[in-house]
Chain A
Amino acid sequence: MIIRILTEGQFNLPGSHLDQLNDIDNQLVEAVESDDQGRFEQLLKEMLDLVRQKGTVVPVEELIESDLILPEPDITLKEAEELFVGEGLLPG
C-alpha cells in the first residue's frame, strides 16, 4: 500500500504492516487525548520509522494516490490536538 508522510513523500509499505500501523495510530490518539508530549513524540517517531524502514520510496516522477497519509515528522502535540478538534469534524 502507498503511504505518504507529509513533507517527506510517498512510500510503498507491504500490507502486512497495516495492523502494527493501526495499533500505533490508536495509541497516538490516546497520547493526544491525555496531552502526553513525550509519549506522543515517541509514538509518532515509531510510526514514521516503521514506514521509512519497512517501506520503499516511491520514485518522485510517479503520480499515484496514497492509501494513507501520515502527519509531518515535526508536527507538535498542539497541532495534533487541533487536527482533532479543528474544522468542526469528528473529535477523537
Chain B
Amino acid sequence: MGMLSRMSTIVKSKMNRMLDNAEDPRETLDYSYEKQLEMLRNVKRGVVEMVAAKRQIQQQASRVQDNITRLEQQARQAVDAGREDLARLALQRKQTSALELQGLDEQIAGLEQEQEKLTLAEQRLQAKVAAFRTKKEIIKAQYTAAQAQVRIGSALSGISEEMGDISLAVERAETKTDQMRARAGAIDELVATGVLEDFTGREDDIGRELAQLSASQSVEDELAALKSGRPAGENRSLPEGRS
C-alpha cells in the first residue's frame, strides 16, 4: 500500500466520521453545514492558541536575553575586580544562555510558520463553506429526490474532504504547540533549578561537542578581549608606568 492510497484512506475515514446518515438528504446538508461552522471555529481557536504559545515563548526569550546582558556585566565587573575565575564562569553561563536563546528563537519561527499555515487553511475553509452554503440552498430549493441525491453527494464529499484535510492540519498544529509548550516549561524548570542541559533539542553528540568546543573558545576570546580592551580605571597605568 503506497503513500497515496494510505493518505487517501486516512482522510476519507475522517470524512466518513463527519457525515451523518439522516433520513432526508436535506437534513444531511444542514447537519454538515453546522459541522463546517464548528470546524471553522476550531481553526480560529487553533490560531489563537498558537499566538498565545508564541507569546509565552517570546516572553521566555526576553528573560533569557536579560540574563545574557546581566552576565555580560558581571563578567566585566569580575575582570575589573581581577577575578578571572568569576569572569570565566559568567561567560560560560552566558554561552549557555545564548544557546538557549537560539533554541527559543527557532521555536518562535516554527510557531509562526504553523500560524501562517492555519490562517491560510482558515481562509480556504471559509471560502469553501460559503460555496457550500450557496449550493445547499440551491439544492434545497430545487429538491427532487432522485436527482438531488447525486448533487448532494458530490457537494458533501467535496466539503467533507476539505474538512478532513483541515482537521488533520489542526491536530498537527495542536501537537506541535503542546510539544513546544512542554519544552518551554522544561526550560523554565531547568533555569529555576540551575541545572544546565541540552535544551536546544539538538540530538547528535558531535554537534553538541562542537558547540561546547566553540563555546569555550568564545569564552576565552571574550575574556581576552575584556582584559586587553579594558585596562580601565586605576589599573590602567600600572603595567605601563612601571618601567
Question: How big is chain A's contact interface, by range?
Answer: 20 to 34
The distance from the CB of B135 to the nearest CB of chain A, in whole angstroms, is: 7
The distance from the CB of B119 to the nearest CB of chain A, in whole angstroms, is: 12
Interchain CB contact under 8 A, A63 and B154: yes
- Whether, in the assembled complex, B231 has its beta carbon less than 8 Å from a beta carbon of chain A, the answer is no
Interface of B is mostly: helix
A70 to B135, CA, bound (A): 27
| Interface segment out of the listed B91-99, B156-164, B177-185, B221-229 | B156-164
| Interface segment out of the listed B126-134, B190-198, B200-208, B234-242 | B126-134
Assuming the A-B contacts A25-B2, A26-B2, are A63 and B131 also in contact, with contact meaning beta carbons closer than 8 angstroms in the complex?
yes
A87 to B7, CA, bound (A): 13
Assuming the A-B contacts A7-B121, A61-B127, are A69 and B158 also in contact, with contact meaning beta carbons closer than 8 angstroms in the complex?
no
| Interface segment out of the listed B8-16, B47-55, B78-86, B211-219 | B8-16
Name which residue of chain A comes closest to B13, CB basis.
A87
- Whether, in the assembled complex, A66 has its beta carbon less than 8 Å from a beta carbon of chain B, the answer is yes
Question: How big is chain B's contact interface, by range?
Answer: 20 to 34
Residues of B contacting A80 with CB < 8 Å?
A: 3
Residues 1-58 (chain B) with a chain A CB within 8 angstroms: 1-4, 6-12
Interchain CB contact under 8 A, B165 and A7: yes
Show the binding face of A for B, using Cβ within 8 Å.
4, 6-7, 9, 21-22, 25-26, 28-29, 32, 47, 60-66, 68-72, 80, 83-84, 87, 89-90, 92
Which 7 interchain pairs have the tightest Cβ spacing?
Answer: A63-B158, A61-B131, A25-B2, A65-B157, A69-B8, A60-B127, A69-B7
14 A–B contacts, CB within 8 A, in A order: A4-B11, A4-B161, A6-B7, A6-B165, A7-B169, A9-B124, A22-B4, A28-B2, A28-B3, A47-B3, A63-B154, A71-B3, A72-B169, A83-B7
Show the binding face of B for A, using Cβ within 8 Å.
1-4, 6-12, 117, 120-121, 124, 127-128, 130-132, 135, 154-155, 157-159, 161-162, 165, 168-169, 172
